[in-house]
Chain A
Amino acid sequence: MKRVDLAIGIGGAAGQGIATPGDILARIFVRRGLHINAYNAYQSIIRGGHIFLTLRTSDQPVLSHGDKLDVLMPLNQDTMDRHLKLMRAGSAVLFNRDTITPGAVPDGVQLCPFSVKLLAPTIRGDLVQNTIALAAVLRLIKADFGILAEILTLQFKRKGEAAVAENVGVARAGYDYAATHFTALPLSLPDTGKRLAFLEGNQALAMGGAAAGVRFYCAYPMSPSTGVLHWMARHARQLGIMVRQVEDEIGVINMAIGAAHVGCRAMCATSGGGFALMSEALGSAAMMEIPVVCINVQRAGPATGVPTKTEQGDLWQVMGAGQGDYPRIIVAPTTIADCFKIVPQLFNLVDKFQCPGIILSDLLLSEGRSSIDPAELDFSVPIDRGDVIGLNGDSPPVNGGFKRYLITESGISPRALPGTPGHVHVVATDEHDEDGVLISDEFTDPHKRQAIHEKRMRKMEGVLPLLEPPEVHGPADARVTLVGWGSTEGVIHEAMQQLAVAGIAANNLQIKWLVPLHVDAIVSILSKSPKVIMIENNYSGQFARYLRSETGIVADGHIRKYDGEPFMPHHIADGVRTILAGSTKHYVPVHEIQV
């Protein structure tokens, strides 16, 4: 059977109801077992502006939102003007001809105008346009009407039977109108019989937290991390998770540290600006040796930056957050499934090593949506709290007094939860001795300081062997290795497919665990690569510089994008071709669509 690869773009102003038809289409696809990938380009306004949702579906896993559209649904004139010129032969454009007029139509593009006045003369409100367009799209892709009727019935049930009948009726009119007036696309949607789930990265991070046993979640709303807070708040009572909205991010991280110290698994999420406010407290968690997990969903910076646009610009911020040297574990999940799996894994690590853990996501991963095999969302994950005294009310006898910061070979000291009899101790952000007694004031002692600092930092040596080393994806004898980190894995893999078609064998080394870094494994892989090209969603090549500092490896070329929009596959493929041709070492793609 021919591979299905269908991309639908829905655009309009904020408030025009783009999300709903997007959700309905996504649901229809995943119920047939089709894979999806969706990316919503939006702006930091509640009404107006331009929003553009790209929803791509296939019978194969969808790695990115792709390069092209097969169907365009402009809900206003602005979207029509921005996107029509980029449509290709064979594609279709559905629009309400009462209010929208097409400009110059590229060759081979099918215009599918309909009239809301004609099809729904009695219904008021702008949303009816969306229902008709959605029904017409389903007819164009030869999907049954029944499933749309079912979904609309569910959606309007609360408003009564009349509303259900009205909306289903309008949809039917749109569907039938499309059948007689438009030419269906030359594809047939398969039904694999295996329903898939679909979710955004923020939901996956929140669910990963639930699976890890997070009992305390707090946050200050900040795009694009707020989805984690929303999921947690909605499910708090069902799951027994305390969720708090706090006055600022400084309060967030400190509250989480307080909850973590007495024994909860505590998590919080923010974006770069909020993370900057948390910096000092993350260091304090390391100093007091309290395990806590903080998610930074990156957006384009600096400062307020571009709040609704993606970037990988916070790598150096998280690596250098806070004063002084301290142990921290930093991970950048590469897929939405990873977002779920990484959280319990990171909690087990931070509990064992009693230090902060940072998850570095970005807007693309956290707000992008993708289908997933529900089996990947396995909640029965191992939970390992490390050596904790008092977790179950136990209070083993202490001989000679409890030393919270006992100097050990591994650097890991016994941890007792407050409330446990016999283990009273003080934890401090001031430098302290094994007893927790401050050495920073009148008792300053350089030998004690050195010993306790080394104990703390030594813990990192134990972390690395527990992290899976990175592996090469793609042909071992490739001409070029594309190195990325975090969210760019999918789009790099798709670019590799495009390059392969063009006769260029490329492979990919995607880095997930950033700190500690698997230096030996990376050197061993990259030393065999004829050429290394770094791909990053930032201006200065933050990972390239990190890689160079840790391994001495200097990349042969760089592809960097920092316009706020994520890479499309052809951006990378074009960059690789240009760099391999020798015309530049530094390629910055131009984003063609003004979104």
Chain B
Amino acid sequence: MDTVVETGATTRGQAGLKPERAKVTVKDLKGKVDPDWCPGCGDFGVLAALKQAIAELGFQPHEVMTISGIGCSSNMPGYLNTYGMHTLHGRALAVATGAQLANHDLKVVVTGGDGDGYGIGGNHFLHSMRRNVDLTYVVMNNQIYGLTTGQLSPTSAKGMNTKSTPFGSVENPVNPIPLAIAAGATYVARGFTGQQKHLVELIKGGVQHRGFALIDTFSPCVTYNHDNTHEFFKQRTRKLEEMGHDPTDFHAALEKGRLWGDVIPIGLFWRREDLPALDQLEPVLGEGGPLARRRLGVGPEIAQALIEELM
């Protein structure tokens, strides 16, 4: 275990002014420990892509906060040298919403798995999207519960044999892409860990997007999912850019999002940039900088007015 000391402690400049910033490399973004994922896990690819995206976008480690829930993929914050929160199962988006609104200078990235985000955290997923909170949500979708040793997940295919469905699942899976488009997410993409450069670009696009960005990512589980393997996706995934898809076409985005079979599209399904993010709509954040940095207390004049209301 090597000790990582954060590099380049520059202060964040005022808007329009670019202070001299130390160049951040992928190596600088390495966390205190190495991942404990199974050898060959897709999540290694997401970790690499995330570090690459942050480095290429030029963020300093202290400017980024990575927030996760619980599950194999939710161990992500510990493997990154950014501010991190490893919260409860399913709760990452709720915590991240609070953090982003309380300090909108932070770049908040949320990481987790399909069970964490689409199952136990489903309610927060839905409402974070309709609120268009400025978050980048990278879901490592392996269509299985890994950390609990192989049960059905909300994205497991119908008919799949798992430890909790030994005779095959009879349930329909969640399809996060049309769900997210319909729920109000303003950047909806799908990546595959077998397409690293493509994934890096999708994450970069999501981080730069002002609003809720979902990057659902096929991150195959080598231990418990023998159906949806690296090879499975390698044969079927096709880039939307090569399919002539227009990510500003709502109906085309929904239709492409529903494709699942011999061709499974990856890439940017949907983006709209005409909607402000929640923090931009919040009058309290209009001036005065991040909420978390403001002076506390109520001045005597306002205090008097509050008391007068009661008399």
| A216: B residues at CB distance < 8 A | 98, 101-102, 291
B307, CB-defined interface residue at 8 Å: yes
A145, CB-defined interface residue at 8 Å: no
With contact pairs A199-B310, A238-B302, A437-B78 given, residues A257 and B95 touching in the complex (Cβ less than 8 Å): yes
In-complex Cβ contact of A442 among B36, B106, B293 (8 A): B36
The answer to whether B311 and A195 have CB atoms under 8 Å apart is: yes
A246 to chain B, nearest CB (A): 7
Chain A residue total in the interface (Cβ 8 A): 82
| B9: A residues at CB distance < 8 A | 395, 421-422
| A256: B residues at CB distance < 8 A | 98
| A392: B residues at CB distance < 8 A | 293
Closest B residue to A399 using CB positions: B5
Closest A residue to B287 using CB positions: A240
Closest B residue to A398 using CB positions: B5
The answer to whether A251 and B94 have CB atoms under 8 Å apart is: yes
| B123: A residues at CB distance < 8 A | 247-248, 250-251
| B63: A residues at CB distance < 8 A | 419
The answer to whether A418 and B6 have CB atoms under 8 Å apart is: no
| A222: B residues at CB distance < 8 A | none
| B261: A residues at CB distance < 8 A | none
In-complex Cβ contact of A255 among B81, B97, B291, B293 (8 A): B97
B96, CB-defined interface residue at 8 Å: yes
Q: Which of the listed residues B10, B99, B100, B105 has the most CB atoms from chain A within 10 Å of its own CB?
A: B99
A211, CB-defined interface residue at 8 Å: yes
B60, CB-defined interface residue at 8 Å: yes
The answer to whether B311 and A258 have CB atoms under 8 Å apart is: no
Stretch from A122-130, A261-269, A555-563 that touches the partner: A261-269
The answer to whether A424 and B82 have CB atoms under 8 Å apart is: yes
Closest A residue to B9 using CB positions: A421
B13, CB-defined interface residue at 8 Å: no
Closest A residue to B66 using CB positions: A426
| A254: B residues at CB distance < 8 A | 87-88, 91, 94-95, 98, 124
Chain B positions 41 through 66: 1 when the CB is less than 8 Å from some CB of chain A, otherwise 0: 00000000000000000001111010
With contact pairs A247-B126, A280-B88, A426-B77 given, residues A264 and B311 touching in the complex (Cβ less than 8 Å): no
| A213: B residues at CB distance < 8 A | 296-297
A429 CA to B61 CA in the complex, in Å?
A: 21
A370 CA to B97 CA in the complex, in Å?
A: 37
| B16: A residues at CB distance < 8 A | none
Stretch from A164-172, A377-385, A531-539 that touches the partner: A377-385
With contact pairs A199-B310, A263-B103, A419-B63 given, residues A426 and B78 touching in the complex (Cβ less than 8 Å): yes
A259, CB-defined interface residue at 8 Å: yes
Chain B positions 187 through 216: 1 when the CB is less than 8 Å from some CB of chain A, otherwise 0: 000000000000000000000000000000
With contact pairs A261-B85, A377-B307, A426-B84 given, residues A240 and B294 touching in the complex (Cβ less than 8 Å): yes
| A383: B residues at CB distance < 8 A | 296-297
The answer to whether A242 and B87 have CB atoms under 8 Å apart is: no
The answer to whether B292 and A417 have CB atoms under 8 Å apart is: yes
A31 CA to B311 CA in the complex, in Å?
A: 7
A393, CB-defined interface residue at 8 Å: yes
A422 CA to B3 CA in the complex, in Å?
A: 13
A564 to chain B, nearest CB (A): 28
The answer to whether A419 and B105 have CB atoms under 8 Å apart is: yes
With contact pairs A210-B306, A216-B102 given, residues A391 and B75 touching in the complex (Cβ less than 8 Å): no
| B292: A residues at CB distance < 8 A | 215, 259, 262-264, 417, 419
In-complex Cβ contact of B78 among A203, A215, A377, A428 (8 A): A428
Chain A positions 206 through 219: 1 when the CB is less than 8 Å from some CB of chain B, otherwise 0: 01001111011010
Closest A residue to B305 using CB positions: A238
The answer to whether B310 and A198 have CB atoms under 8 Å apart is: yes
B3 to chain A, nearest CB (A): 6
A339, CB-defined interface residue at 8 Å: no
In-complex Cβ contact of A438 among B78, B105, B290 (8 A): B78
B86, CB-defined interface residue at 8 Å: yes
B98 to chain A, nearest CB (A): 3
A178 CA to B247 CA in the complex, in Å?
A: 75
| A261: B residues at CB distance < 8 A | 85, 95, 98-99
The answer to whether A262 and B86 have CB atoms under 8 Å apart is: no
The answer to whether A255 and B94 have CB atoms under 8 Å apart is: yes
Q: Which residues of A in the span 193-245 have a Cβ within 8 Å of any Cβ on B? A: 195-199, 203, 207, 210-213, 215-216, 218, 235-242, 244
Instruction: Classify chain B's interface size.
Output: 35 or more
Closest A residue to B102 using CB positions: A259
The answer to whether A264 and B284 have CB atoms under 8 Å apart is: no
| A420: B residues at CB distance < 8 A | 62
Chain A positions 278 through 301: 1 when the CB is less than 8 Å from some CB of chain B, otherwise 0: 001100100010000000000000
The answer to whether A426 and B86 have CB atoms under 8 Å apart is: yes
| B293: A residues at CB distance < 8 A | 263, 391-393
Q: Which of the listed residues B6, B96, B296 has the most CB atoms from chain A within 10 Å of its own CB?
A: B296
A142, CB-defined interface residue at 8 Å: no
A391 CA to B78 CA in the complex, in Å?
A: 24
With contact pairs A197-B307, A379-B297 given, residues A237 and B284 touching in the complex (Cβ less than 8 Å): yes
Closest A residue to B286 using CB positions: A237
| A215: B residues at CB distance < 8 A | 102, 291-292, 294, 296
In-complex Cβ contact of B282 among A242, A280, A393 (8 A): A242
A235 CA to B100 CA in the complex, in Å?
A: 22
B264, CB-defined interface residue at 8 Å: no
| A49: B residues at CB distance < 8 A | none
A425, CB-defined interface residue at 8 Å: yes
Closest A residue to B98 using CB positions: A258
The answer to whether B11 and A421 have CB atoms under 8 Å apart is: yes
The answer to whether B85 and A423 have CB atoms under 8 Å apart is: no
A441, CB-defined interface residue at 8 Å: yes
A264 CA to B298 CA in the complex, in Å?
A: 15
| A427: B residues at CB distance < 8 A | 84-86
Closest A residue to B32 using CB positions: A437
| B103: A residues at CB distance < 8 A | 262-263, 417-419
The answer to whether A418 and B99 have CB atoms under 8 Å apart is: yes
| A422: B residues at CB distance < 8 A | 6, 9, 62
Q: Which residues of B in the span 70-84 have a Cβ within 8 Å of any Cβ on A? A: 70, 75, 77-78, 81-84
Q: Which residues of A in the span 342-379 have a Cβ within 8 Å of any Cβ on B? A: 372, 374, 377, 379
A454, CB-defined interface residue at 8 Å: no
The answer to whether B106 and A418 have CB atoms under 8 Å apart is: yes
With contact pairs A251-B127, A254-B87 given, residues A242 and B291 touching in the complex (Cβ less than 8 Å): yes
B26, CB-defined interface residue at 8 Å: no
With contact pairs A195-B311, A435-B32, A441-B36 given, residues A242 and B101 touching in the complex (Cβ less than 8 Å): yes
With contact pairs A250-B91, A259-B99, A424-B81 given, residues A237 and B11 touching in the complex (Cβ less than 8 Å): no
A31 CA to B284 CA in the complex, in Å?
A: 34
Chain A positions 410 through 450: 1 when the CB is less than 8 Å from some CB of chain B, otherwise 0: 00000001111111111111100001111001110000000
The answer to whether A379 and B88 have CB atoms under 8 Å apart is: no
Q: Which of the listed residues B12, B77, B91 has the most CB atoms from chain A within 10 Å of its own CB?
A: B91
B179, CB-defined interface residue at 8 Å: no
B19 to chain A, nearest CB (A): 12
| A211: B residues at CB distance < 8 A | 297-298, 303
| A374: B residues at CB distance < 8 A | 307, 310-311
| B82: A residues at CB distance < 8 A | 424
With contact pairs A199-B310, A424-B81, A428-B86 given, residues A210 and B298 touching in the complex (Cβ less than 8 Å): yes
A419 CA to B61 CA in the complex, in Å?
A: 9
B248 to chain A, nearest CB (A): 29
14 A-B pairs whose Cβ atoms sit less than 8 Å apart in the complex: A235-B306, A237-B283, A242-B291, A258-B94, A258-B96, A258-B97, A262-B106, A263-B292, A401-B5, A418-B62, A421-B9, A428-B84, A429-B86, A443-B33
Considering the complex of A and B, which 8 residue pairs feature the smallest CB-CB distances, nearest first? A213-B296, A258-B98, A263-B292, A426-B84, A254-B94, A421-B9, A379-B303, A428-B86
Given contact pairs A246-B127, A401-B5, enumerate 16 new A-B contacts (beta carbons under 8 Å): A199-B310, A218-B98, A236-B284, A240-B294, A258-B96, A261-B98, A264-B291, A372-B310, A398-B5, A418-B62, A418-B99, A420-B62, A422-B9, A427-B84, A429-B86, A437-B32
